[in-house]
Every structure is written in structure tokens, then in C-alpha cells.
Amino acid sequence: MAGEGNVNSQVVNTVDQMQNSALSSSVIKLSGAGKAYQSISQSSAIAVQDATDNLRNINTMATTAMGVALAQMLATGNTEMYGEIIKQANTMIENSTSNFNAVGKGASQLLDEFTTGG
């Protein structure tokens, strides 16, 4: 086997150049910033998915509550009590929609403001 001293100096030089370029602080910072951006992007996407699920679930509950309240309103003629339930169910939907919008805008703004190190 050839000793280390017998390695062609051009090969050693090439390996040194590759290590220096791959392990430089700017490359490491850029790589780290890219990985952080990917992580933030994934977390933001999950947050928007969760907000979507929440909106869907609230809409299902509110629609069910409104259907029951409307049926009771027609059966009893009590428009005041059941009308209030319908109003509260609509408020639930509005609040959930506002939450969905806030999460979506917040996630988008976070990604726009995040520095990728470039």
C-alpha cells in the first residue's frame, strides 16, 4: 500500500478544495437556513390544514345545530329561542372563518418574512 506521502498532490489539493467549499461557513449557514425554511414551510402547511379541519368541523356542528333549531322552531313556533340558537351557530361559523383567515395570512406572512440566508 502506498503511504500518504505517495498520494498525488493534485488529488490532495482537489480533496482539500472540495472540503473547504463544502464546509465553509457561508455554505453551512445557507444550508441551515434552507433547512429551517423547509421546516417552517411544513409547520405552516400543517397549521393551515388544522385550521381547515377546524373550519370544516365547526361548519358541520353549526349546520347540524341550525337544522335542529329550525325543526324545533317549526314544531313549537318558538322563534325567539330557536332563532337565537341559529344566530349563535352563524356567529360560530363567522369566528371559525376569521380564525382560518388569520392562520392562513399569518403562515403566508411568516414565510414571506423568513430569511433563507441568501
Average pLDDT over residues 67-84: 96
Give me the mean pLDDT over the 2-29 stretch.
Answer: 74
Q: Is the pTM of this model over 0.85?
A: no
Non-local (6+) Cβ contacts of 69 within 8 A are 82, 83, 85, 86, 89
Least confident of 32-41, 48-57, 64-73: 32-41
Q: Note the residue count of the chain.
A: 118
What is the average pLDDT across 38-64?
95
